A and B are shown apart, each in its own frame.
Chain A
Amino acid sequence: MIQERNPKGDQAPKPHTALIRWSVTRREFVVTAGSVAGGMALGLSPFAVSSGAAQEPGTLSEAPPAIRPGAVPVALTINGKRHELSLDPRVTLLDLLRNDLDLTGTKKGCDHGQCGACTVLANGRRINSCLSLAAAHHGEEIITIEGLALAGRLHPMQEAFLEHDGMQCGYCTPGQICSAVAMLDEARAGESSFVTADIGAPGAAELTPAEIRERMSGNICRCGAYPGIIAAVESVWQGSRANHEGRA
């Protein structure tokens, strides 16, 4: 059920529109669509300014500042696989995942940071991939819904959503699950929420249903499957605490 596709039907893989496939000025390489999935060493130095090959990191191009809309080198790891890309700077992380890397589990809902369907983990933190330029994630590690299952076994949160029927149409579900996974990490780290009575109190949070609702409010479910979603999240939280206490 989780692997069911977008009800509108995801189309066949689209051409890699976002990738610049012509030679890039002052960089001696040509990116071809076919080479993208396999990765391609560009010799990027992390966080170096994107223009000019023969300059010190952290300096701008030596030439007068003509504005050059063009390709930006981006290296990032997605679900454990390193990608070295050359991207139009307008490409969002969401569109990179869906249109160019065929990782269509991450959904485009509102495309304006209002619904949470596009939630992925960047360096372990949940973010809206629709409001993120891919280029701004250079050097980061991204986990999408496709990367949560390990060695053919669903992530406990995926199992819990099945167990507690935390969905109807399923369109918001990948975002809900990614969000919930990160949310439990935040709670374990002791982060407060707006409904936490004593914001100053240290230690792991107490995840009441009210806390779960507030902490999951960045993910909208238009089918209204919230009771199942909250039950799923609560069950994983209780289970992980039981495991933790069992080990202690």
Chain B
Amino acid sequence: MNPFGYERTEQAETALRAIAEYSGAKFLAGGTNLIDLMKNGVEKPPMLIDINHLPLRAIEDLPGGGLRIGALARNSDTASHPLVRTNYPLLARAILSGASPQLRNMATNGGNLLQRTRCYYFMDTGFPACNKRTPGSGCGAIGGVNRIHAIFGASGACIATHPSDMCVALAALDATIRVRSAQGERTIAIDEFHRLPGDTPSIDTTLRPDELVLSIDMPRSPYSAHSHYLKVRDRASYEFALVSVAAALEFEGGDGGGRIRSARIALGGVAHKPWRAKDAEQALIGNPLDESSIQRAAQAAVVGAKPQRDNAFKVTLVQRCVARALATAGGLA
């Protein structure tokens, strides 16, 4: 690990001043991704600002409905919180599908938002080419081993995927991210928070380097009765998704037999960000959930997919996963 300075503070103002003053400094929360990347030599921050003691752990109702989950609440505490389990079971299930209990006890919600890709070419500095790690160096995954890589929204510079499960559920739940810098607060819609790689894959998110994530806010959800997080991976547990689906349905009259009033489908493991399948959602609205509407949605979910040499299986897998997640969410499976 590179040598670095270390500061610890209890106050957001102090942390924000420090991050603005020290060029290249990073906030340290759970550290489960950052410390690993520092051990690999991928991240070399000259200064860590330990924000674990900032008062950002609360999980609380928002006035007017909805839920605010603190950036420093641990993933495990979030998944086991009664308000999350009852009103946002999709989020609880997505979090519980990720990593291990030990890692979820350490990892924070803010850190989960900001975790970096597990692309082998990014994680291993033995590979010289990675535009995300070293801008301009090329992409080892394009033309390389790319079984785990993106089929949507990739560029000629990067085909990495975002590894989070939590963020896929947040995309389906229309979350917003509340952030603060020395200049003040702003909110970022989850769909705008993570970005596509384009020509600048080294930049994962629209969060500025001097900004601190304060909380993740979710509106009141009409989906608590009919939602499902499906994750398909190479092992039964403790593994990243090849494909995951967050599916959420709202039925007219509230019951699974009626027509679909609104739907949310977000995909994980397939793009540089959680991938909302809006065409698939549209294919469901106004219809009952049945074999026909499910198949139309599944097909719509993969329109525009551009697989690489090794990951064409994901195009088929996404369709099957969307179909199964919808059927489970709607009580058909």
Check: A228 CB closer than 8 A to any chain B CB: no
* Nearest CB in chain A to that of B53: its residue: A47
Of B10, B93, B102, which is within 8 A of A126 by CB? B102
Check: A83 CB closer than 8 A to any chain B CB: no
- Establish whether residues A57 and B102, one from each chain, have CB atoms under 8 Å apart when the complex forms: no
- Establish whether residues B105 and A125, one from each chain, have CB atoms under 8 Å apart when the complex forms: yes
- Mark B4-34 against chain A: 1 for CB-CB distance below 8 A, else 0: 1111111100100110011000001001100
State the CA gap A60–B48 with chains docked (Å). Answer: 13
Which A residues between 164 and 198 are near B, CB-CB below 8 angstroms? 179, 182-183, 186, 189-194
Kindly list chain A residues whose C-beta atoms are within 8 Å of the C-beta of B89. Answer: 199-200
Check: B39 CB closer than 8 A to any chain A CB: yes
Task: Tell me whether A132 and B101 are in contact in the complex, defined as CB-CB below 8 angstroms, given that A60-B9, A67-B46, A192-B85 are known contacts.
Answer: no
- Establish whether residues A72 and B6, one from each chain, have CB atoms under 8 Å apart when the complex forms: yes
Check: A206 CB closer than 8 A to any chain B CB: no
Check: B52 CB closer than 8 A to any chain A CB: yes
Residue of B4, B79, B96, B99 with most chain A CB atoms under a 10 A cut-off: B96
State the CA gap A138–B28 with chains docked (Å). Answer: 14
Q: How far is the CB of B76 from chain A (nearest CB, A)?
A: 7
* Nearest CB in chain A to that of B15: its residue: A60
Q: How many residues of A contact B (CB 8 A)?
A: 52
Kindly list chain B residues whose C-beta atoms are within 8 Å of the C-beta of A132. Answer: 31, 35, 106
Which segment of A7-15, A98-106, A111-119, A153-161 sits at the interface? A111-119
Which segment of A29-37, A212-220, A237-245 sits at the interface? A212-220
Check: B292 CB closer than 8 A to any chain A CB: no
Q: How far is the CB of B33 from chain A (nearest CB, A)?
A: 9
- In terms of DSSP, what is the predominant structure of the interface of chain A? loop
Q: How far is the CB of B231 from chain A (nearest CB, A)?
A: 8
Check: A58 CB closer than 8 A to any chain B CB: yes
- Establish whether residues A113 and B36, one from each chain, have CB atoms under 8 Å apart when the complex forms: yes
* Nearest CB in chain B to that of A216: its residue: B101
- Establish whether residues B85 and A89, one from each chain, have CB atoms under 8 Å apart when the complex forms: no
- Mark A43-59 against chain B: 1 for CB-CB distance below 8 A, else 0: 00001111100000111
- Establish whether residues B18 and A218, one from each chain, have CB atoms under 8 Å apart when the complex forms: no
Kindly list chain A residues whose C-beta atoms are within 8 Å of the C-beta of B58. Answer: none
- Establish whether residues A65 and B18, one from each chain, have CB atoms under 8 Å apart when the complex forms: yes
Which A residues between 58 and 115 are near B, CB-CB below 8 angstroms? 58-60, 65, 67-70, 72, 89-90, 92, 111-113
Check: A133 CB closer than 8 A to any chain B CB: yes
Kindly list chain B residues whose C-beta atoms are within 8 Å of the C-beta of A68. Answer: 5
Residue of A57, A70, A136 with most chain B CB atoms under a 10 A cut-off: A136
- Establish whether residues B9 and A127, one from each chain, have CB atoms under 8 Å apart when the complex forms: no
Check: A144 CB closer than 8 A to any chain B CB: no
Check: B137 CB closer than 8 A to any chain A CB: no
Q: How far is the CB of B100 from chain A (nearest CB, A)?
A: 3
State the CA gap A49–B49 with chains docked (Å). Answer: 10
Residue of B46, B50, B52, B82 with most chain A CB atoms under a 10 A cut-off: B50
- Mark B230-242 against chain A: 1 for CB-CB distance below 8 A, else 0: 0000001110000
Kindly list chain B residues whose C-beta atoms are within 8 Å of the C-beta of A138. Answer: 8
Of A50, A51, A59, A128, which is within 8 A of B103 by CB? A128
Check: A131 CB closer than 8 A to any chain B CB: yes
- Establish whether residues A60 and B10, one from each chain, have CB atoms under 8 Å apart when the complex forms: no
Q: How far is the CB of A133 from chain B (nearest CB, A)?
A: 6
- Establish whether residues A126 and B101, one from each chain, have CB atoms under 8 Å apart when the complex forms: yes
Check: A202 CB closer than 8 A to any chain B CB: yes
- Establish whether residues B48 and A58, one from each chain, have CB atoms under 8 Å apart when the complex forms: no
Kindly list chain A residues whose C-beta atoms are within 8 Å of the C-beta of B14. Answer: 49, 58-60
State the CA gap A89–B172 with chains docked (Å). Answer: 39
Check: B125 CB closer than 8 A to any chain A CB: no
State the 3 A-B residue pairs at the shortest beta-carbon distance, nearest first. Answer: A218-B100, A89-B6, A217-B237
**Between-chain CB contacts (< 8 Å), 10 pairs:** A47-B53, A48-B8, A51-B7, A59-B14, A67-B46, A89-B4, A92-B35, A131-B35, A131-B103, A133-B48
Given contacts A126-B102, A131-B103, 10 further A-B pairs with CB under 8 A are A67-B22, A90-B3, A112-B39, A128-B32, A128-B103, A132-B35, A186-B80, A191-B79, A218-B102, A219-B100
